[in-house]
Every structure is written in C-alpha cells, then in structure tokens.
Amino acid sequence: MENLGFTAIPAITVICYLVAQIVKATALDNKWLPIICGICGGVLGVAAMYIMPDFAATDSITAAAIGIVSGLAATGVHQAAKQLGGGCNGN
C-alpha cells in the first residue's frame, strides 16, 4: 500500500461536491458554493494530514492548499459537466 495518501485528494473533492449539493438544497444563495467548498476542502486537507500517515502533505499550509484546490475542483467539475451537457438552467 505504497502512496495511499493520494487517494485522499479525489476523496476530498467528492466530499466537497456532496457538501455543495446539500447546501444547494437550502435557501442559501449558490454564489457562496465555491467559498463553502474551498473552506470545506481546506479543513478536510488538514484533517487528512493528521489522520492519514501517507498523505501528500507534511505541513498544515500545504495540506490546506491541497484541500482548498480539491474543494474548488468540486465546483469546477460540476460546472464543466453542466457546460458540456448543455444544461444551462441556472443550477
């Protein structure tokens, strides 16, 4: 099980995507979703650094940066899929 820490990076993206879908179901404006995903990703990145011994980062700042980028990737993946799918209904 060498380099298992890299599996946490897509996992952070998936978790942040699910958090965004939950937030979308509330009355909160969708313009806050990238910020929520970024913060959620940063927190998960730092948590993963302490929980997973093989995580890709060895310090808190790098772990937070990896998490933030992973969280923001969740909104990017959603937007790319929406644009490629031709769905332009404002969701």
Q: How far, in Å, CA of 63 to CA of 30, rounded?
A: 26
User: pTM of the prediction?
Assistant: 0.81
Contact (CB, 8 A) for 24 and 71 = no
pLDDT category at 1 given cuts 50, 70, 90 is very low
| Distance, CA of 58 to chain centre | 19
pLDDT at 45: 93
User: 23-73, pLDDT tens digit by residue?
Assistant: 999 999 988 999 999 999 999 999 999 998 888 888 999 999 999 999 999
Q: Which residue, chain included where needed, has tokens 């959620």?
A: 40
Query: Above 70 in pLDDT, residue 5?
Result: no
Distances (CA, A) of 32 to 11, 12, 56, 61, 75: 21, 18, 28, 23, 11
* Dihedral class, residue 55 (left if φ above 0, else alpha if ψ from -120 to 50, else beta): beta
